[in-house]
Structure 1
Amino acid sequence: MIYILVGAGGMAGALLRYIVSIAIAAWWDGSFPLATLAVNYIGCFFLPLLTLRLKSRLSVPVQKAVTTGIIGSFTTFSTFSVETVSLWETGQAAAALGYVLLSIVGGLFFTRLGFKKGERLSI
């Protein structure tokens, strides 16, 4: 049953990621990969928050459906990597380095924020 739940969560997360990408593309036409950065920030915030919040409230299969399924398929390291190399190879080295820096620092910031919020809500 856990495989079905994680798979269903994965479908939901992939669709959510696509919807966010379409929404951002509607008003962002720059070469900087803002949609991927946004979904990765959102995922970095919600993964620890939901991990803490769901731990004692839902069964392990449902927890995995949300964290591994939805959040795991919503965020994307491979797209980040391809976009970074693409920026670099098209002569946008500063944008590529900025993207890496924003991804790492921002990702860690939002992960910490998600943990803090999750801990606060668990009390």
Structure 2
Amino acid sequence: MFQAILCISCGAVFGALGRWGLTYSFNSLFSTFALGTLVANLVGCCLVGVLMAFFWQHPQVNDLWKLFLVTGFLGAFTTFSSFSIEVVELLMSDKWFGALGVIAFHLIGGVMSTMLGILLYKLLFRS
């Protein structure tokens, strides 16, 4: 149990720092669109696709790696809590089309990025 907690915690530290770096780098580019949040979600969705495809193909890999990478790192790296408050703020400002655009980009883009991650894994590792 302690190993699981340690793996999740260490992964979360790196994921949170990565998300902060993206937010710091990209969110100032557009005043009405949080690009860093979108990039974190799309990259995170793609990575979860790659990682889960790997774990499905290699079930013998220690579960602690999944806890570190998926639960810890990606759990802290992806930012759906930030996404939701950004949508709410747009809605509260009567920017309905902007809110719908953000929702569409994140959700459709996230699903497509996850599928891309699985495809990339299959192409790179010929499984």
Matches within 5 A, 1:38-117: 38-54=39-55, 56=58, 58-117=61-120
Which stretches in structure 1 are left out of the alignment for 5+ residues?
A: none
Greater Cα offset, 60-69 or 39-48: 60-69
Distance in 1 (CA, whole Å) between partners of 2:61 and 2:19 is 24
Percent of aligned positions that are identical: 29
C-alpha distance in structure 1 between counterparts of 2:13 and 2:65, whole Å: 14
- The residue number in structure 1 matching 2:124 is 121
Q: What is the TM-score with the length of structure 2 in the denominator?
A: 0.87
User: What is the TM-score with the length of structure 1 in the denominator?
Assistant: 0.90
Asked if structure 2 preserves the Cα contact closer than 8 Å seen for 1:49 and 1:117, the reply is: yes
Note the C-alpha offset of 1:51.
Answer: 2.1
Letter matched to residue 82 of structure 1: I
Instruction: Please say if 1:17 is aligned against 2:19.
Output: yes
Superposed displacement of residue 121, structure 1: 2.8
Q: What residue ranges of structure 2 are gaps of 5+ in the alignment?
A: none
After the TM superposition, list the runs of 4 or more consecutive aligned residues in structure 1 that deviate by more than 4 angstroms.
none
SS at match of 1:118: helix
